A and B are shown apart, each in its own frame.
Chain A
Amino acid sequence: SQTIHQWPATLVQPVGSPLSLECTVEGTSNPNLYWYRQAAGRGLQLLFYSVGIGQISSEVPQNLSASRPQDRQFILSSKKLLLSDSGFYLCAWSVLTGRPNTEAFFGQGTRLTVV
């Protein structure tokens, strides 16, 4: 069966420090991969998605970047964190089918607090 791992679960980082969140998927090949952010008391915002190795699309301009160095690995990074980067970050994957009835499967999330 497919599983998705996301770490760390919680992170407290000072303003201006770098960030690296990692997400890996097991049990499937060539998945679509996604990074979402959930700000406190708000809904989910899609940050990045990837349909293949090295292929990253950004949905919103921001202080973050994403990379996909391997088929089932998706990394969210920042060179210098801002206070506004605080939030709950969720990695997700879906099967690459091009069909809209495919659901996404989410990791457990990383709660990032920038202080």
Chain B
Amino acid sequence: GDSVTQMEGPVTLSEEAFLTINCTYTATGYPSLFWYVQYPGEGLQLLLKATKADDKGSNKGFEATYRKETTSFHLEKGSVQVSDSAVYFCALSARNNNAGNMLTFGGGTRLMVKP
């Protein structure tokens, strides 16, 4: 079945440091890939997405490129801020035969940014 593997956290960085959170996936067909962010005590918000190979999703300074050859969708940001502290989830969506689009999530990576 489909699966998503992302690096375990927590990831602790100083403000303005470079961020990479690794994400690899296993899926049949051609899934869409997503990064969601969860701030403390809140639900998940879509951060960015990519729907086909070599697409780059970007938002709020975060970027991720859909790499089909390495089945990866690593999240990057050039300069993190304290406000970026949150849990980040990588996810994929593949067509479901019952016409639903279910997301398969990775385990989440907690990012802590120190001033």
User: Which residues of the partner chain A approach B36 to less than 8 Å between Cβ atoms?
Assistant: 106
- The reply to whether A98 and B99 contact each other, CB–CB distance below 8 Å, is yes
Interface size on B, residues (CB 8 A): 30
Check B93 against A102 for contact (C-beta < 8 Å).
yes
Flag if A34 contacts B99 (CB, 8 Å): no
How many contacts between A and B, using CB within 8 angstroms? 78
Q: How far, in Å, is A40 (CB) from chain B's closest CB?
A: 12
Q: Cα distance A105–B108 when bound, in Å?
A: 17
Which of A44, A46, A102, A106 is close to B108, meaning CB atoms less than 8 Å apart? A44
Contact digits for A55-93, partner B, Cβ 8 Å, 1 yes 0 no: 001000000000000000000000000000000001010
Contact A106-B43, Cβ < 8 Å, known A43-B107, A44-B108, A100-B31: yes
B102 touches A34 (CB 8 A): yes
Which residues of the partner chain A approach B30 to less than 8 Å between Cβ atoms?
100
**Are the C-beta atoms of A42 and B107 separated by less than 8 Å?**
yes
Say how far B71's CB is from chain A's closest CB, in angstroms. Answer: 15
A103, B102: Cα distance in complex, Å: 9
Chain A hits for B98, CB < 8 A: 51, 57
Q: Is B25 an interface residue (CB 8 A)?
A: no
Check if A97 sits within 8 Å of B43, measured CB to CB. no
Taking the closest CB of chain B, its distance from the CB of A43, in whole angstroms, is: 4
Q: How far is the CA of A108 from the CA of B43 in the complex (A)?
A: 4
Interface residue A2 (Cβ < 8 Å from any Cβ of B): no
Chain A residues packing against B (C-beta within 8 Å): 6, 32, 34, 36, 42-44, 46, 49, 51, 57, 90, 92, 94, 96-109, 111
Known: A96-B100, A107-B43. 8 other contacts (CB 8 A): A43-B105, A49-B102, A51-B99, A99-B95, A100-B32, A105-B46, A109-B41, A109-B43
